[in-house]
Amino acid sequence: MSNKQRTIEAIIAPPPPHMVGNGFRVHSFFPGGRLIDKKRMSPFFLMDYGAKVEFGPSNEPRGVGVHPHRGFETVTIAYHGRIAHHDSAGNNGVIGEGDVQWMTAASGLLHKEYHEETFSKTGGLFQMVQLWVNLPAKYKMTSPKYQEITNAMMGKYSLPGNGGTVEVIAGEYNGAKGPASTFTPMHVYNARLKKGGSIEISLPANYNTGLLIIEGNAVINGENTPADHFVLLKNDGERIAIQASEDTIILVLSGEPIDEPIAAYGPFLMNTWKEVEDAIQDVNAGKFGVLED
C-alpha cells in the first residue's frame, strides 16, 4: 500500500429534502444529482440522510407502512430518536441513539419502519441515515435476515490524546472490528471526534469511499467540510486525514465495488429487468409473506 492521500472528488451539499412516508424527512445524496452513476458508491446503492428535525408529539406513530424489498440490504443508523422495525420474516426491534438495524431483504420480504411508540408520544429530535447495500448476484436470493446492532456491540477505538472514538459497525479500524456480517468487504463506522481531534484513515484505493458529516465541521485532506455535507473521494489513493474544527461526527463508508449490471426499480435492486418483473409477480402472489400495516 503506497499510502498516497486520496483526492476529494466533490463536497456535496444536502439536496432538497423530501418525505418518505410521514416519518422520515430525508436528503437523498445518491443515486442521483452529482452521483447519477448508480455504481459510483457501490456496494452502497442509496443513501437517504435524515438531517436533524424536531417532531412534535403524536398519538399515531409516524413512519413508512408495509412495503417489499428484494436484492439488497437496508441499513438504518440512528443518531437521535428511536425507530421500530417489523418484517414478514418475523423480525422486530427498536433502535435508539447510536444503534443500527441491518436488514438483509435478499430473496424478499415485507417490512415497515416507524417512530418508536414512546418517542412518538413525546416527540423530539430525530436524525438518522438509511443505506441500501447491494448484494452480488449470487447472494440476491439468499434467505432474509436481521441484525440488530446496539452501540455497545460495536468495536471501539479510542483516538490518542482524548481525541475521540471510532465506533466500528462493519469492517475494522486499527484492530477494532465491527459486529455486522456482510456479503462483500466493506468498512462502515462513525468517527466521533472532539474539537481539535484528528484521525488518519487508510482504505484500499479501489474501495469506493465517502464521508457524511453528521455533526460539526472538519478539515478533510485540507478542505473544510461543514455539517450535513457528503465528501466523495476519488479512487486514487488510500489515506484520508481528518481534523475536527469542533466536536464532530463523521459516517465513513468504504467498500469493494460490485461490478455487475444493475436493474433498479422502486424497492427492488436486481441485475436484470426480468428479475424485477419476477419480484413484482412474487409480491402480488403473496410470496413475500404477510405483515399487518
**pLDDT (average), residues 6-27:** 96
Give the CATH class of 8-284.
mainly beta
What pLDDT, on the 0 to 100 scale, is given for residue 131? 98
Give tens-digit pLDDT for 261-270. Answer: 999 999 999 9
Report d(CA 292, CA 134) in Å as an integer.
27
What pLDDT, on the 0 to 100 scale, is given for residue 3? 80
* pLDDT of 228 over the 70 cut: yes
Give tens-digit pLDDT for 147-176. Answer: 999 999 999 999 999 999 999 999 999 999
* pLDDT of 292 over the 90 cut: no
Q: Which of 171, 156, 221 is nearest to 44 (CA)?
A: 171
Report d(CA 113, CA 62) in Å as an integer.
9
Residue boundaries of the structural domains of the chain: 8-284
- pLDDT band at residue 2 using 50, 70 and 90 as cut-offs: low
Q: Are 264 and 38 in contact (CB under 8 A)?
A: yes
**pLDDT (average), residues 52-81:** 96
Give tens-digit pLDDT for 61-73. Answer: 999 999 999 999 9
Bigger pLDDT: 125 vs 292? 125
- pLDDT band at residue 206 using 50, 70 and 90 as cut-offs: very high
* pLDDT of 1 over the 50 cut: no
What pLDDT, on the 0 to 100 scale, is given for residue 272? 98
Please report, for residues 207, 218, 286, the alpha-carbon distance to residue 65 in angstroms, rounded to integers and kept in the order given.
34, 37, 17
Nearest 5 degrees, angle CA 170-CA 215-CA 22? 85
What pLDDT, on the 0 to 100 scale, is given for residue 109? 97
Task: Look up residue 36 and give its three cell numbers.
Answer: 447519477
Give tens-digit pLDDT for 83-128. Answer: 999 999 999 999 999 999 999 999 999 999 999 999 999 999 999 9
